[in-house]
Amino acid sequence: MVLPTGFGLPPLPYLVVLVGGVVLIAALLVALEPPVDQRTVVALAPWMALGGALHALGQPPIELYDAALAPLFGTPSVYLTTFNLVGTVWLLLSFFGVRTGNDGNISRNLGLVGTGILTVVLVLSAVTALRSGLIDPVWPTLAVLASLFVAAVTVLAVALWRTPVIIRARYAAPVVVFAHAFDGVSTAIGTDVLGVSERSPIPRAIMEFAGSLPTASTVGSGWLFVLVKLVVAVFVVVLMDDYLQEDPVEASLILSVVAAVGLGPATNNVVLFLFAG
């Protein structure tokens, strides 16, 4: 089994609407051709986090959505829902940018809108946790700060090792590395500190192996998953170096997807940590 626990398609009507929306929006974006480069990876980062936050708000003990909305935010439907949301905003900003002659600001505006919506959702999460009496801001804060530190050290190390790679990928590389550092660190905290069981089989297998090592009693089992995530992120960044120069549009979109599979689950983790009190 390679799929996470809880993975399941939504009811058919929801699936048809979500998939239909994805196809339509993707086709319109391809036709409109908004500018895509490494700055787009940065602009999409808050939307990736938003998807993780929206997914967390539908899980126990939060379960914020009513029965009609819940299927939109499960796994994997939350990916489709998030794509439809960001795609719609991206289209509107693209139309507005082209009409006003400011198409160079589309990525910036996309990032600003995503950051605004994400901020509202995170504040709503904190307020909900506070009202429930379960709020625990310590571990979410430590997860973010530790991830920033680990990502910064990793990017610096790669810059010393392969300076031209980091210079050329100066926007995308930090996002990708931070996304996977955040996923690794938050997962390690959840496993080693909060006793949360990992739903995805591959991370669970990695941490079970680390738990069988003699170091498990002193440093826990999450460290190996953090290391694996960092190695994978750095490998992808280095591997994509030539592709970024040859086809920056496709390479930037691929790096966005790579970042999303780290940043989304990581944000899901820290929102759930808010309710660990």
231: which 2 tokens? 């190695």
The Cα–Cα gap between 229 and 160 comes to 20
CB-based contact 254:36 (threshold 8 Å): no
pLDDT at 60: 85
Pick the range with the lowest mean pLDDT from 4-13, 21-30, 70-79, 199-208.
4-13
> What pLDDT does 97 receive?
81
* CA atoms of 151 and 157, how far apart (whole Å): 10
Give me 224's structure tokens.
Answer: 């190996």
For the cut 70, the answer to whether the pLDDT of residue 2 exceeds it is: no
Packing angle of the helix pair 172-192, 201-211 (nearest 10 deg): 60
Handedness of CA 31, 35, 41, 47 (dihedral sign): negative
Percentages of the chain per state (helix, strand, coil), in multiples of 5: 75, 0, 25
pLDDT-above-90 percentage for the chain: 76
- Residue 16 Cα distances to 23, 62, 77, 78, 112, angstroms: 10, 27, 11, 14, 30
Give pLDDT tens digits for 68-104. Answer: 999 999 989 999 999 999 999 999 999 888 777 777 8
* pLDDT for res 61: 84
**Beta carbons of 182 and 144 less than 8 angstroms apart:** yes
> What's the confidence (pLDDT) of residue 275?
87
How many CB atoms lie under 10 A from the CB of residue 101?
Answer: 7
Question: What is the pLDDT of the chain when averaged over all its residues?
Answer: 92
Give the model's pLDDT for residue 108.
94
pLDDT tens column, 206-265: 999 999 998 888 889 999 999 999 999 999 999 999 999 999 999 999 999 999 999 999
Kindly list the distances between the CA atom of residue 194 and the CA atoms of 72, 82, 190, 257, in Å, as whole numbers in the listed order.
Answer: 28, 28, 5, 29
Do residues 225 and 184 lie in contact, with contact meaning Cβ atoms separated by under 8 Å? yes
Query: Alpha carbon of 48 to those of 146, 219, 263: distances in Å?
Result: 20, 30, 6
With bands split at pLDDT 50, 70 and 90, how would you rate the model's confidence at 40? Answer: very high
- pLDDT score at 270: 95
Q: Reply yes or no on whether the pLDDT at 10 is more than 60.
A: yes
The stretch 178-191 carries a mean pLDDT of 96
